[in-house]
Chain A
């Protein structure tokens, strides 16, 4: 069983959802991003998504755009992302990379997968890669035994959900809304429907991302999803503070709130018995 599968199994045994937290490598600095990730894990983040800063993040809203711009201005390179993955893996939490496709293609899919495996990473989320274009990527991730996480969206047809689920491993990322990353006052009702539709197509865990920003929302999503993915809210929590120490503290407090949220789901869902 992979490290990530163990985390999902343990959470299932506790009748709770998994908390997945995102932070871009190199934000606000390389050491700073590692400190933030360590704080996130200490305060209950189960799986870490290390963001690979990219110049054209078209699925990201203003909060993450700003953070990755800062990371790039800091001179963050792919090697720094791998360093961040290594530090993340050292915390004991599974480390995923979230990367747009072009940096991986430029680095070479095989080389990227090899580097990630060597750094102790467990998988990759590719928000602008669909299974249709993923041929070389399937081979590279199979070769290096990395989970490859594709996305389903509210607009996905049943055929596309099947396609995405067949190509995915580790878990399936359900984008809760038709939009970009960012905190929202409520999580779209479309998320629940999407998770139910995806449930029929795969035995893999299904995690919901886009729009979750606090413990109450996490609890709501945890009622029907296996995992809750939070990104922009962590970046915002840091960004709002005047100094790094307060920022780290705020990120830790948010992680604790969200961790309580994923443990507070009102009722275990029926599919628990199925799996």
Chain B
């Protein structure tokens, strides 16, 4: 598997300056430029070092639990026009989502750079939990920035991070959500570059983050492609994934970019509808601009002020998106659609009842998209879906949505 890392990309993006076409790049204070150069060099050095790759693969096998299985979701398929639906089970990874792939890579890189402290932003808490986990595993100090609104709605994940030894700092600036947590992490990073690595959790931010995070998630697509071929004897007709920042989608898309017959679909959080002000669908409802160090699509007003996003899924509730998705959108290689809160929760319930899998609400957006796609493509189609995370963290939200009552013992 180590040899395949770059094998399926004859025309690699980004270019040498970190751009995906007109997207990407680095829009950061000068003070960060040296650190980004250092990180870029360290990443390239590590990712071509067989020893580093072997250690990454060893932890993925013995700690994350890779390879994650592929599940043939036959009962779900009945609701999807009879199309065959294959679920890539990233929900079965340690810590419950795909996030661990990137975190293990960057935590190993942190040690390799001789740094002793990692900081990270988190929205839903999944990336924060994954970062705290890897920090504990590798003996790194860990500080997680989390918007105050999110610390309140994801209290269980705050406790998880603290149990793992991390310090969680609630961010009270701005809209007090993920975007403000990213700002605060950047501010921390610039003051402590000598000791600290900013372990960014998605394929956004200044170069080299979009490329580096993609590479650490490429294992998802590499495995899923081989597993699909083994199971069905052919490539899937379509690949579906949810897109917030876009890391799980990029991870699974990568392996299929050079397969023109495989359609790629990303599903964004449509919230209450892209026609309303309350959504997080940057690629289908946003415009081109610069946020958090990169040029991509984002939600902004006519003066370039960031507009707050909305989604029932905290993990998709981000007003920006990774620059490679912007590139794939504009080149037409991938198609992006939105899925509303209601559609996502219907799919959430459907997957629970048909397959016995409680998905993360983020991933339920991909399920909703696959059901929509299956009904369009018909019974002969095979759709590979990235089930990026499990839904334990979302049980309270789902119970509230479906009007269930939870006996509260501690709240």
Question: Which residues of A are in contact with B by a Cβ distance under 8 Å?
Answer: 54-59, 61-62, 65, 69, 72, 77-78, 101-107, 127-130, 132-133, 150-157, 160, 164, 175, 178-180
Contacts and interface: CB of A to CB of B under 8 A. Distances in A.
B306 A59 contact: no
A127 B33 CA distance: 12
B26 A130 contact: yes
A55 B173 contact: no
Interface stretch (B128-136, B148-156, B186-194, B326-334): B186-194
Contacts of A56: 174, 179-180, 183, 291-292, 306
B404 interface: no
B186 A155 contact: no
Closest 5 CB pairs of A and B: A106-B304, A153-B31, A103-B304, A155-B34, A102-B304
Nearest to B288: A105
A130 B33 contact: yes
A157 B304 CA distance: 31
Given A61-B187, A105-B289, A151 B29 contact: yes
Contacts of A133: 25-27
Contacts of A59: 29, 187
A128 B187 CA distance: 13
- Quick one: which of A62, A102, A132, A175 has the most chain B CB within 10 A? A102
Given A133-B27, A157-B34, A106 B302 contact: yes
B30 interface: yes
Contacts of A179: 31, 187, 190-191
B318 to A, nearest CB: 12
Given A55-B305, A155-B193, A106 B30 contact: no
B11 interface: no
B31 A54 contact: no
A154 B30 CA distance: 9
Contacts of A129: 27
Contacts of B257: none
B303 interface: yes
A72 B305 CA distance: 9
B290 A132 contact: no
Contacts of B32: 155
A105 to B, nearest CB: 6
B210 to A, nearest CB: 15
B97 interface: no
B17 interface: yes
A130 B173 CA distance: 25
A102 B305 CA distance: 8
18 contacts: A56-B292, A61-B187, A62-B173, A69-B174, A101-B27, A102-B289, A105-B295, A106-B289, A107-B303, A127-B29, A133-B27, A156-B34, A160-B30, A160-B34, A164-B30, A175-B29, A175-B31, A179-B191
Contacts of A154: 31
Given A54-B305, A180-B187, A151 B30 contact: yes
Given A56-B183, A58-B187, A69-B174, A153 B304 contact: no
Interface of B: 17, 25-35, 173-174, 179-180, 183, 186-187, 190-191, 193, 287, 289-293, 295, 300, 302-306
A103 B27 CA distance: 13
B27 A128 contact: yes
A230 to B, nearest CB: 18
Contact of B290 (A69, A102, A107): A102
Contact of A106 (B17, B25, B27, B300): B300
A130 B303 contact: no
Given A107-B304, A178-B31, 9 more contacts: A56-B174, A56-B179, A56-B306, A102-B27, A102-B290, A103-B303, A106-B303, A155-B33, A178-B191
Nearest to B19: A133
A179 B188 CA distance: 8
Given A152-B30, A160-B30, A178-B31, A105 B190 contact: no
Given A56-B291, A69-B174, A151-B29, A105 B304 contact: yes
A102 B173 contact: no
B326 to A, nearest CB: 14
Contacts of B289: 102, 105-106
B183 A150 contact: no
Nearest to B183: A58
A71 B187 CA distance: 21
Contacts of B31: 151, 153-155, 175, 178-179
B260 to A, nearest CB: 32
Contacts of B292: 56, 58
Contact of A175 (B26, B30, B183): B30
Nearest to A133: B25
A82 to B, nearest CB: 12
Contact of A104 (B26, B29, B191, B304): B304
B25 A132 contact: yes
